[in-house]
Amino acid sequence: MFTRATKSTACVALLLAFALFAASCSDGDSDSASSTTEDPAGDGSASELPGDDLALNQIQVLGSHNSYHLPAVPEVAAGIEALVPALWDTISYEHQPLPVQLEDYGIRQFELDTYADPDGGLYSTPAALELLGVETTTVEGLSEPGFKVAHIADIDYNTTCLTFVACLEEVQEWSSANPEHVPVMIMVETKGDDLRSGDSDFGIDIDTLGVEFARPPEMTAELFEDLEAEVLSVFDESEIITPDDVRGDAPTLDEAVTTEGWPTLGESRGKVMFSLVDTGDDRELYVEESPNLEGRIFFTSSEPGRPDAAFIRVDDSLANGAELQADAEAGYLIRTRTDEPGIHAVANDVTLRDSAFASGAQYLSTDFYVADPETGYVVQLPGGVVARCNPVTAPADCTTVSEG
């Protein structure tokens, strides 16, 4: 057993490890979401379903941030909450399982953090539990090769679906049962955070703490191929909106979305699409052999004017509202945020949320589609609908977007 002093030392070491990760990051209950809005004109639509003639960039839906996330397991959570409550406030949010988000809360955009594990077992015995003296056993489901889903490997690893394939299978099952849904965007960040890279800044050496923290592999061309193979092990390519589908005969993806535009909702119902959160070296690695994303499954998080530009992230619609609106009007798909953990919900501050609603962003990412139990802060589209006419890009006569 740990003595009290030993436990205290372990908690401090663990919190220092958390601080290393935090320094490296940029990053009442609602009713079930309604699938449609009222049609004020009462004359329906010329399409089979209202909104079918809209392009994909002419609608707006809700997404969830770190969609898989659950609070840390109790032993780890207790140490963080007691010693660094400000840090706990930023990672204590909890999400419903992906199918519940889809069915009950109308979420149509997810964010999944993945860690490569080509040999299997790299993350199966979390170091945080061992550091705290908690008897550890191998976490079921983490021993096989394949990408794992977690916020912080070894520490903040508690999730609703442990593996990338498991998460995708949940979405695919729901999608097959609901073939008229608006497309679901799945954003994926490939993570390679190694706490050792910054331990000297805090005067500690991770490797002297007495436990082995995982060393996530850096992404390679082969690992990106593996990531795509996992997608295609769950979804048939006919169920996916790919960059090739959007580019068509245009010389670049950027030119396609800014001149020809996106497929219509009617052409895209029941499908999913994928985008990489990765920028920098990992993005360049992904596009190295396919600058226009030829043959690729994932769109990239890009910037206007690049050959691969189609999907853009603008996190803050208050600080970057003019940029966001210009990008929306140009034809790009955009994800923005309505809140940040530990900031907006605790103060019931709706300024960023309402700015996001009014922006041209198609995907509004939140941690609070379920109301905060203390402040009541919640994010729902007006009327509780799943999708609506985009306030910037939809045509003036757009009134309704329906899922049937």
Chain centre to alpha carbon of residue 231: 15
CA distance 113 to 195: 17
Q: What is the mean pLDDT of each run of 10 residues along the chain (404 residues)?
A: 38 49 44 44 55 98 97 81 75 92 98 97 87 76 94 89 98 98 98 65 65 91 98 98 98 98 98 97 97 98 98 97 97 97 93 98 97 96 96 97 89
Nearest Cα to Cα of residue 403 among 291, 265, 282, 302 = 265
Alpha-carbon torsion, ordered 184, 357, 367, 277, to 10 deg:
50
Residues with Cβ within 8 Å of 15's Cβ and at least 6 positions away in sequence, in order, are: 79, 80, 83, 84, 87
Q: What letters, b where the CB count within 10 A reaches 16 and e where it falls short, cover 263-277?
A: bbbeebbebbbbbbb
Closest CA to 10 of 189, 308, 209: 209
Cα-flanking dihedrals φ and ψ of residue 283, to 5°?
-65, -45
DSSP string, 13-78: HHHHHHHHHHHH----PPPPPBS----TTS---SSSSTTTTSBGGGEEEEEETTTTB-PPPHHHHH
H or E stretch at 273: strand 272-276
Residue that has been written with the tokens 């050959």 in this structure: 307
Q: If DSSP codes are grouped into helix, strand and coil, which group holds residue 149? A: strand
Contacts of residue 311, Cβ cutoff 8 Å, sequence gap at least 6: 275, 299, 300, 301, 302, 332, 333, 334, 335
Q: What angle do CA 280, 281, 285 make, to 5 degrees?
A: 125
Q: Are 330 and 314 in contact (CB under 8 A)?
A: no
| DSSP H helices in 217-259 | 221-232, 243-247, 253-255
pLDDT at 195 (0 to 100): 63
User: By CB neighbour count within 10 A (0-12 exposed, 13-18 middle, 19+ buried), where does 14 fall?
Assistant: buried
Sign of CA dihedral 395, 269, 167, 381: positive
Question: What pLDDT does residue 204 have?
Answer: 60
DSSP 87-128: HHHHH------HHHHHHHH-B-EEEEEEE--TTS-TTSS-HH
| CA pair distance 247, 404, nearest whole angstrom | 28
Residue bearing tokens 């958390």: 18
> Which pLDDT value is given to residue 290?
97
